[in-house]
Amino acid sequence: MTGLASIFERDRYVVLHSLLKEPTLGQFYRHARNKARLGGMDSGDDQVPGTPCAYGDLMMDGLLNALLAEIEAASGLKLFPTYSYFRIYKNGDRLARHVDRPSCEISVTLCLGFEGVESWPSRLPD
Taking only the tens of pLDDT, the chain with its 126 residues reads 569 999 999 999 999 988 999 999 999 999 999 999 999 999 999 999 999 999 999 999 999 999 999 999 999 999 999 999 999 998 889 988 888 888 888 999 999 999 888 777 777 665
State how far the alpha carbon of 31 is from the alpha carbons of 67, 71, 77, 105, in Å. Answer: 17, 22, 29, 26
- Type of residue at 44: G
- What is residue 80's predicted lDDT score, i.e. its pLDDT? 93
What does the alpha-carbon distance between residue 68 and residue 106 come to, in Å, rounded to a whole number? 12
- What is residue 1's predicted lDDT score, i.e. its pLDDT? 56
Tell which residue, 125, 80, 73, 77, has the closest CA to residue 98.
125
